[in-house]
Amino acid sequence: MKKWERFRKSVSHAWEGFMHAVRHEPNMRIHLIFAITVIPLGWLLDIPWRDSLLVVFAVFLVLISEMINTAIESTVNLVSEQHHKWAKIAKDTAASAVLLAAVLSIIIGLAVFLPPILRLVGTFIHN
């Protein structure tokens, strides 16, 4: 198989995994809604490009964490259908990684978006 064909197939499989997470994981859809909202908001508020990079990093970190969490949960479910303390630890730890990424993204979002929003509100109040 040619290298290009192998690469194309691996990208196709990765896309299938992404779409599976979007279709079957409600939290992934919530994260995507926030991602689709904050990126244009940064453009509308004329956020400096370095701050925009921070926002994009935070968005991708949350999405990546959610997908790793989904992979871990699916693997644990495949290995054992019974409730087991180690399975719970694996799932809870993966979920907490998503939570930490989401908290970080909120902190970054507040640091980046709050000052221009407050300036905009102040402009409307003073006019």
Q: Which of 16, 66, 73, 81 is catalytic?
A: 66
**Closest to 94 measured CA to CA, from 72, 112, 78:** 72
Q: Among this protein's residues, is 66 annotated catalytic?
A: yes
Q: Is 60 helix (H, G, I), strand (E, B) or coil?
A: helix
- Angstrom distance (rounded) from CA 47 to CA 44: 8
Burial class (CB in 10 A: 0-12, 13-18, 19+), 4: exposed
Residues with catalytic function:
66
